[in-house]
Chains A and B, each alone.
Chain A
Amino acid sequence: MFVLLRQLQRIRSECALPRPARRGSLQLRHVDAGSCNGCEHELQAASGPAYDLARFGLSITASPRHADVLLVTGAVTTRMRGALEIAYAAMPEPRRVAALGDCALGCGLLGDPSQIAGRVEEILPVDLRIPGCPPDPETIARHLRELLAR
C-alpha cells in the first residue's frame, strides 16, 4: 500500500493539474447506446488521475435519478433505444443531454441501418456535442466544463 500511495503522490505532482477557478458541479450519467467501447475508455480516463474531472465538480453518478447530464455514446441501436428513453425519463429537471463521440453525433460509419434507431439527436434533445473518435479525455473535459459555465 505504501508503495502504491507513494506512486500516486508522484503521479499527482507530475500531472500538476491546476485547481479550477469556477465552482459548481454536475452529476453525469453515462449510457452506452451502441458504442465500440472506445468512448467509454476515454470517459473513464477523464475521471482518472491524469485528468481528474472531479476537480471541476464533474462526477459520474450511478443512477439517472441523480443526474444532471445524460452522456450518450454510440449510434443508438434498436435494442438500446428503449433503455435510453427510460433513463432520460427518469432524470429530474433541469436535465441536459450530451452526445459523446462521432457515432453519437451520427458522423461515423454506423453499421447496418436496420439495426440503428438513429443518431442521439433524432431521439433526445441534445445540448452538448463532443466530437472525436473517440474524443480524448482532454476534449471531453473541455466540453463538459462549457456546460458547467452555462
Chain B
Amino acid sequence: MTDALSLTAVPPGLWRETIGGLGRRGGLPLSLFAAAGPDGFPEVRCLAETGDGLMLAVCPALDGAVPSVADVVPALHWDEREARDLHGVVFTGHWPHRPLVHHPADLAEWTTPVTGDDVHQVAVGPIHAGVIESGHFRFHCVGERILHIDVRLFHTHRGLEHAAEGLAPDEALPVVRRACGACAVANSVAFADAVEQATGRFPDDATRRARTVLVELERVYNHANDIGAMCAGVGLAPGAMVFAHAKERAQRIIHDLTGHRFMFGAVAVGGSGLSIGADAAAGARGALAALGRDMAAAWRALLFDASLRDRVAGAGVLPHDEALRLGVVGPAARASGVGRDLREDAPRLWYPGFRAVLPAEPVGDVAARMEARAVELAQSLALLDDLLAGAVTPGSVTTVDSGGRHGAGRVESARGGTTCVVELEAGTVRRVHLRTASYANWPAVARAATGAILPDFPLVNKSFELCYACVDR
C-alpha cells in the first residue's frame, strides 16, 4: 500500500516553486482546482506526484489571487482557466486570461489573434455533422492549412461536481458517473478510491479484482470503437464496420456479465457487489477469446491496407517533447513514446507485474495512436483472460487508518490517467474534482492538428477520440 496522500499547506510566495519545481525533483503535477477553504475563502489545490507518493498542495487565495504556474507547467493551463471561471480565483501572471467554461459572445475574448496574408477563420460546431458530442472549433487557416485552433468546449457543462456537493458518497457516485458514459467505470472507480482513501479504507482482493475486470472491459469496447472510428475517419467502411461490430460484441458480453452495456451502476463505494459465477466467467472468457482472434485478424488486414496506411502515417504528429510538456496521458502519450501507464502502480486495483506496452514505432502520428489501441487491446484481453479464470465474487473494504478529509483516486481509463480528488465533511462530499484523461489531452489535439490540412482534422481528432462530456462535466 503505497498511496497515502500527504497534505501540504503552501504560502502564495512558495507556490510557484512548489508546483513549478516538481518536475526537477522527480515529481509531476496532476490536477489543479479551486475550492472553498475551511474558513470559506477560496483556495487552490494541486494534486501531484512527488516522487515518493501523492501530495495535495493547498494555497490560500489571499485577496482572491494565487500565482499562476501555467507558464512553467503548461499542462495546468486549462485547470487555471477553469478555476477562474468557476470559482473566481485570479491567477497572477496568467495573461491573457481566456475563459474556458464561460462562453463570452465577443470572439476577441477567447480566441488567439492570428493575422497575416490570407489568414481566415473556419468555425465548426457546436453541432457536428455526425453523431458526435457538442463542441466548437475555430480554425485559423491559410487556404486549407491549419495555423492554429481555438477549442471551445463546455457546451455540455451540467455542473455535476457542484451538484454532487452535500451528498453522501454513495448518492454522489451516480452524479459523478454521469460525467461520461464511455468512461463511466474509470470515473466511478476513481471516485470510489478517493472516498475510500479519505475514510481510511482499502479495497480487499475481491473488490480490487472485480473493479479491474470492469475497467478492462471498458477499455476493450472503447479501443475497438476507436480503431473503427479512425477507419471511418479515412472513409474505410469495411474497417469501420468490422470494428463497430467488435465493439457491439464486447458490449453484449459486458451486458451479460454486469446487466448494463456501459456498466452503469456496477461500481460501488466501499466494496463491490459484482458477482459473476464460474460458468458465466468461463462463457465470457471464451467469447472474449473469439472476439480477440477476430479483431487480431481484422487488425492485420488493416496493416496491409495501402489507402489507410497512406492516410495515417505521418498525420497529426504529436512530438515526444510536446506530449511531455502538455502532460498528455494514455494511448496518445504512449504513441508519442511516453511510457507511462497508471496500471504499473495501481495498489487499489489488480495489476500484478503490469508493464505498459508501446507501439513498435511510437512517433506520435495517427498510425502510432491507432497501433497503441491495437496492442493495448491484446494486452487487456490477456488480463481479462486471467481475471475471468474463476468466479468474480463480491468484495468489501478494510479499515487501515483513521483517514483524513481528503482522498485521491487515480485510474488508467481507456483514454489515460484520470484523477479524482474528494473532500469529505461530516460524511458528505464537500468538494469533488474529476480530471479525466480527455481533459488532459484536448490541448494536444489542437497541437497535433496544427500544420495539418482541414480535411485531416477529423482523422487527427478521432485518433485521440476524446470525450467532450468528460471534460464539460
CB within 8 Å of B: which residues of A? 1-5, 7-8, 11, 30-45, 47-50, 60, 62-64, 74-75, 77, 79-80, 83, 87, 108-112, 114-116, 133-134, 136
Contact = CB atoms under 8 A, between A and B. Distances in A.
A22 to B, nearest CB: 24
Given A4-B239, A45-B244, A111-B163, A37 B182 contact: yes
Contact of B181 (A39, A75, A80, A116): A39
B301 A1 contact: yes
Given A35-B469, A37-B467, A45-B247, 15 more contacts: A8-B242, A30-B131, A31-B134, A32-B134, A35-B181, A38-B182, A41-B225, A48-B248, A63-B129, A80-B155, A109-B174, A110-B158, A111-B159, A112-B159, A133-B264
Most B C-beta atoms less than 10 A away, residue of A11, A50, A64, A111: A111
Contacts of A114: 159
Interface residues of B, number: 50
A148 B320 CA distance: 52
Interface in B333-356: none
Contacts, number: 150
12 contacts: A1-B238, A3-B298, A4-B305, A7-B294, A11-B242, A44-B131, A45-B247, A45-B251, A47-B131, A49-B245, A108-B178, A109-B174
A115 B467 CA distance: 19
Contact of B134 (A44, A83, A116, A136): A83
Interface in B295-315: 297-298, 300-302, 305
A37 B242 contact: no
B156 interface: yes
Nearest to A61: B129
A136 to B, nearest CB: 6
Most A C-beta atoms less than 10 A away, residue of B156, B238, B245, B468: B156
Contacts of A11: 241-242, 245
A126 to B, nearest CB: 18
B178 A7 contact: no
A80 B297 CA distance: 42
B182 A7 contact: no
